Structure 1
């Protein structure tokens, strides 16, 4: 089943006085009710699930504190930990470690940022890379796209748009209100003139990399699906060329497609 995802919307503008008032109210509630809720949570998790429940409860709190820190310290972290072209800290749905991992992928950490990353790796190997959250709501730094993975005889179907040099795995962006399946069906119909059979769609994975043609620090997130189709494949709309690529053609595709090629090759699906 393809689950409908919420469409990203930028934070709405608010009256600054309302923001200040809500902040003060939240602080009062945290100070007054926080300790009570925390103590009750400790007893409840211990009594229902034992030490495992306690660990799960404390981990949730740790992640929430990490997300709070990502917003509270974003200007300082952006100044000290990353280069000017890096992926910015400050997404309220993301942890500090996740943003750190994205900058490690981009090689945009400063010397201090690399030091922090190494310290975390001593405590937990590959901590920042393993902490990257691929399920946070996309922001203006993450381009959210879908891809249809179609393989035949160890080759993957790829396309090249008019005026482009690189090849891309077929797919595109969602329109408002569309599910993943609906968006992929529309995009593949427009690009390749075939009808995806929605009941056959199977989630493959989510991949992120620097977006082609965008300034450094802008990621493209590709959510990939396998699926059958009906009809005859042929280029349409803005597609100038349709090709079947092997793993050896990895240098002809975008950064995110390179990751997908690696994944499929390691699985023995792309030769």
Structure 2
């Protein structure tokens, strides 16, 4: 099985002078090389893929411009389109439409934001929701986690930390440089005293919701896998209790876990 090598890290802080210098260089380059690249791109894509190729080329440009706009207009959009506590615009790896879709899901669009969303829906139905990209680099408003889905007889394994009321699907945060497999192996070993069999890992899905115990607008992104394991399940580290829950117990888990419960129920895996 091939595991993803890419890891996700938030932007590093840079020297403001370097940022300004790189900005000026990028402006010069876009005006010098941009037109040449644009013309050559049209000719190349038409020669290799015809009209369809030109359409695909234009779509990539549109997405890049959308990402630029998300950074360039972030402070204005955060005032005009987003209510207090919403998901902030400004992630350089995300389009305006994607951030718009996240706020739509959270119910934090202002009337101006809802108007823009309706206009986009007329052009392309469910445009903002379909634009949500779950693979963008995490920012301070997205918490990147990995989770282990283990189901036996229609019930899912969950755990509860000391001092907490909610149960959660076994999960943990990625450390710098770790792959999905490395993170999941380390976290499950630390929390439940067993070793994930990496060769049996199967991707389940990626889910996002409001993060528990964080200010409104901070989302947790949960990348979920199933896998076999070696050893005996024993609570360790900060884990106080393990339990096996069915779908009717979804009120006992976090908001993002309820989304996972819904999908597992729809797929017939959770009773």
Please give the range of the TM-score, normalised by the shorter of the 2 chains: over 0.9
Q: How many residues align?
A: 270
Which residue of structure 2 aligns with residue 163 of structure 1?
Answer: 163
SS of aligned partner of 2:243: strand
SS of aligned partner of 1:26: helix
Deviating 4+ runs (over 4 angstroms): none
SS of aligned partner of 1:158: strand
Contact 2:197–2:230 (Cα < 8 Å) also in 1 = yes
Go from structure 1 to structure 2 and tell me whether the alpha carbon gap of 1:26 and 1:241 turns closer, same or farther (over 3 Å shift).
Answer: same
Alignment of 1:27-66 (within 5 A): 27-66=27-66
What are the ranges of 5 or more consecutive residues in structure 1 without an aligned counterpart?
none
SS of aligned partner of 1:222: strand
- Normalization by structure 2: what TM-score? 0.96
Which residue of structure 2 aligns with residue 184 of structure 1?
Answer: 184
Which residue of structure 2 aligns with residue 80 of structure 1?
Answer: 80
Alignment of 1:108-187 (within 5 A): 108-187=108-187
What is the root-mean-square deviation in Å for CA atoms of aligned residues?
1.3
Matched, 1:3 2:1: no
Which residue of structure 1 aligns with residue 15 of structure 2?
Answer: 14
Contact 2:210–2:255 (Cα < 8 Å) also in 1 = yes
Contact 2:146–2:222 (Cα < 8 Å) also in 1 = yes
CA–CA distance in structure 2, aligned partners of residues 92 and 181 of structure 1:
27
- Normalization by structure 1: what TM-score? 0.96
Measured after TM superposition, the shift of residue 238 of structure 1 is: 1.2
Which residue of structure 1 aligns with residue 193 of structure 2?
Answer: 193
Measured after TM superposition, the shift of residue 21 of structure 1 is: 3.4
What are the ranges of 5 or more consecutive residues in structure 2 without an aligned counterpart?
none
Contact 2:7–2:176 (Cα < 8 Å) also in 1 = no
1:180-216 Cα deviation digits (max 9, x unpaired)? 1111111111111111101111111110000000000
